[in-house]
Structure 1
Amino acid sequence: MNRGDGLILVIDQGTTGTRAALVSHNGLIVSYAYSEHTQIYPKPGWVEHNPLEIWEKVMLVVKEVIEKSKVDPRRIAAIGVTNQRETTVIWDPRTGQPAYNAVVWQDRRTAPQVDYLRSNHMDLVRSRTGLIPDPYFSGTKVWWLLDNVPGLRERAVRDESIFGTVDTWVIWNLTRGSGDTLTPGLGGAHVTDYSNASRTMLFNIHRLDWDDELLEVEGKIPRVILPLPRPSSDRDCYGYTGPEVSNKLFSGVSIPVCGAAGDQQAALFGQVGFEVGEVKSTYGTGNFLLMNIGDRPIMSRGNLLTTVFYSLERGRATYALEGSIFVTGAAVQWLRDGLKIIEVSDEVEPLAASAEDTGGVYFVPAFVGLGAPYWDQYARGLIIGITRGTTRRHIARAVLESIAYLNRDVLEAMISDTGLRIPRIKVDGGAARDNFLMQFQADITGVEVWRPKVFETTSLGAAYLAGLAIGFWGSLDEVRANWALDRVFKPTMDPETRERLYRGWKAAVQRALGWAKEVPWAYGYEQ
Structure 2
Amino acid sequence: MASDDVYVLGIDQSTQGTKALLFDAQGKLIEKATLPHRQIIDERGYVEHDLNEIGANVIGVVKALIDKDPVRADKIATVGLSVQRETVAAWRRSTLEPLYNAVVWQCARGAEFVSKPEVKSKAQRIREITGLELSEYFSAAKITWLVDNVPEVRECAQKNDLCIGNMDAFLISYLTHGQSFATEPSNASRTQLMDLKNLCWSEELCSLFKVPLTALPEIKDSDSEFGFTDFNGLLKHQIPIHAAVGDSQGALFGHGCSQPGQVKTTYGTGSSIMMNSGDKVSSCEHGIVNSVGWRRHGRTTYVLEGNINYSAGIISYLKDDMQLIADPAETEALARAANPNDRCYFVPALSGLGAPYFNGNVRGSILGISRLTGKKEIVRAALDSIAYQVNDILALIRKSSDVEVTQLCVDGGATKNSYLMQFQSDLVGLPLKVPSDAELSGKGAAFMAAIAQGIYSESILEQHQEESFFRPLADEKEIKTKVEGWHKAIASTIDYGI
Distance 1:216 1:358 in 2: 54
Alignment match, 2:250:
266
Q: For 2:40, what is the secondary structure of its paired residue?
A: coil
Report the AA paired with residue 387 of structure 2: A
Distance 2:303 2:136 in 1: 21
Q: For 2:20, what is the secondary structure of its paired residue?
A: strand
Alignment match, 1:184:
none
Distance 2:267 2:42 in 1: 27
Alignment match, 1:523:
none
Alignment match, 2:314:
331
Report the AA paired with residue 128 of structure 2: S
Distance 2:341 2:90 in 1: 45
Contact 2:27 2:460 in 1 (8 A): no
Q: Does 1:122 align with 2:123?
A: yes
CA shift for structure 1 position 479: 2.1
Alignment match, 2:141:
140
Distance 1:358 1:287 in 2: 28
Distance 2:220 2:194 in 1: 12
Alignment match, 1:398:
381
Distance 1:260 1:293 in 2: 20
Contact 2:120 2:134 in 1 (8 A): no
CA shift for structure 1 position 348: 0.7
CA shift for structure 1 position 171: 1.1
Cα–Cα, structure 1 residues 341 and 358, in superposed 2: closer, same or farther, change >3 Å? farther
CA shift for structure 1 position 419: 3.1
Alignment match, 1:233:
223
Contact 2:90 2:153 in 1 (8 A): no
Alignment match, 1:502:
483
Contact 1:122 1:133 in 2 (8 A): yes
Distance 2:451 2:174 in 1: 23
CA shift for structure 1 position 356: 4.7
Cα–Cα, structure 1 residues 497 and 462, in superposed 2: closer, same or farther, change >3 Å? same
Alignment match, 2:273:
289
Taking the TM superposition and a 5 Å limit, the aligned residue runs for 1:148-159 are 148-159=149-160
Alignment match, 1:42:
42
1:417-474 Cα offsets, whole Å, 9 max, x none, are 1133211110100001111111111111111111012111111100111111101122
Alignment match, 2:5:
5
1:159-212 Cα offsets, whole Å, 9 max, x none, are 211111111111111111xxxxxxxxxx32100111001111111110011111
Report the AA paired with residue 20 of structure 1: A
Cα–Cα, structure 1 residues 407 and 149, in superposed 2: closer, same or farther, change >3 Å? same
Contact 1:266 1:458 in 2 (8 A): yes
Cα–Cα, structure 1 residues 417 and 173, in superposed 2: closer, same or farther, change >3 Å? same
Alignment match, 2:193:
202
Q: TM-score, normalised by structure 1?
A: 0.92
Distance 1:466 1:273 in 2: 17
Q: TM-score, normalised by structure 2?
A: 0.97
Q: Does 1:160 align with 2:142?
A: no
Contact 1:246 1:254 in 2 (8 A): no
Q: Does 1:411 align with 2:394?
A: yes
Contact 2:59 2:232 in 1 (8 A): no
Root mean square deviation, CA, Å: 1.5
1:234-276 Cα offsets, whole Å, 9 max, x none, are 2xx111116xx352x11x2111111010000000100000010
1:456-504 Cα offsets, whole Å, 9 max, x none, are 11111001111111011222x33221x4142111101121111111111
Contact 1:302 1:417 in 2 (8 A): no
CA shift for structure 1 position 118: 5.0
Distance 2:111 2:245 in 1: 27
Taking the TM superposition and a 5 Å limit, the aligned residue runs for 1:9-88 are 9-88=9-88
Q: Does 1:214 align with 2:205?
A: yes
CA shift for structure 1 position 357: 2.4
Alignment match, 2:412:
429
Distance 2:30 2:316 in 1: 29
Taking the TM superposition and a 5 Å limit, the aligned residue runs for 1:164-179 are 164-176=165-177
Contact 2:80 2:243 in 1 (8 A): yes
Alignment match, 2:451:
468
Alignment match, 2:260:
276
Distance 1:448 1:358 in 2: 26
Report the AA paired with residue 369 of structure 1: G
CA shift for structure 1 position 508: 0.6
Distance 1:263 1:385 in 2: 36
1:307-356 Cα offsets, whole Å, 9 max, x none, are 00011134x31010111011011111111122211111111111111125
Report the AA paired with residue 264 of structure 2: K
CA shift for structure 1 position 68: 1.6
Distance 1:514 1:474 in 2: 53
Q: For 1:398, what is the secondary structure of its paired residue?
A: helix
Count of equivalent residues: 497
Q: Structure 2 regions of 5+ residues with no counterpart? A: none
Report the AA paired with residue 487 of structure 1: S
1:381-425 Cα offsets, whole Å, 9 max, x none, are 111111112111111111111111111101100011113321111
Cα–Cα, structure 1 residues 106 and 317, in superposed 2: closer, same or farther, change >3 Å? same
Cα–Cα, structure 1 residues 71 and 513, in superposed 2: closer, same or farther, change >3 Å? farther
Alignment match, 2:109:
109
Report the AA paired with residue 159 of structure 2: R
Contact 2:78 2:242 in 1 (8 A): yes
CA shift for structure 1 position 106: 0.6
Q: Structure 1 regions of 5+ residues with no counterpart? A: 177-186, 520-527
Contact 1:199 1:307 in 2 (8 A): yes
Distance 1:70 1:34 in 2: 18
Report the AA paired with residue 15 of structure 1: T
Q: For 2:373, what is the secondary structure of its paired residue?
A: coil
Distance 2:272 2:107 in 1: 17
CA shift for structure 1 position 358: 6.0
Report the AA paired with residue 357 of structure 2: Y
CA shift for structure 1 position 151: 4.3
Cα–Cα, structure 1 residues 269 and 514, in superposed 2: closer, same or farther, change >3 Å? farther
431, 439, 462: which one aligns with 1:456 = 439
Distance 1:25 1:136 in 2: 38
Distance 1:174 1:48 in 2: 21
1:48-95 Cα offsets, whole Å, 9 max, x none, are 111011101111111001112434323111010111111111101211
Distance 2:186 2:193 in 1: 12
Distance 2:403 2:72 in 1: 47
Cα–Cα, structure 1 residues 377 and 118, in superposed 2: closer, same or farther, change >3 Å? farther
Contact 1:303 1:372 in 2 (8 A): yes
197, 213, 218: which one aligns with 1:223 = 213
Cα–Cα, structure 1 residues 284 and 472, in superposed 2: closer, same or farther, change >3 Å? same
Cα–Cα, structure 1 residues 440 and 105, in superposed 2: closer, same or farther, change >3 Å? same
Contact 1:31 1:69 in 2 (8 A): no
Alignment match, 1:179:
none
Q: For 2:5, what is the secondary structure of its paired residue?
A: coil
Distance 2:183 2:309 in 1: 23
Q: For 1:348, what is the secondary structure of its paired residue?
A: helix
CA shift for structure 1 position 298: 1.1
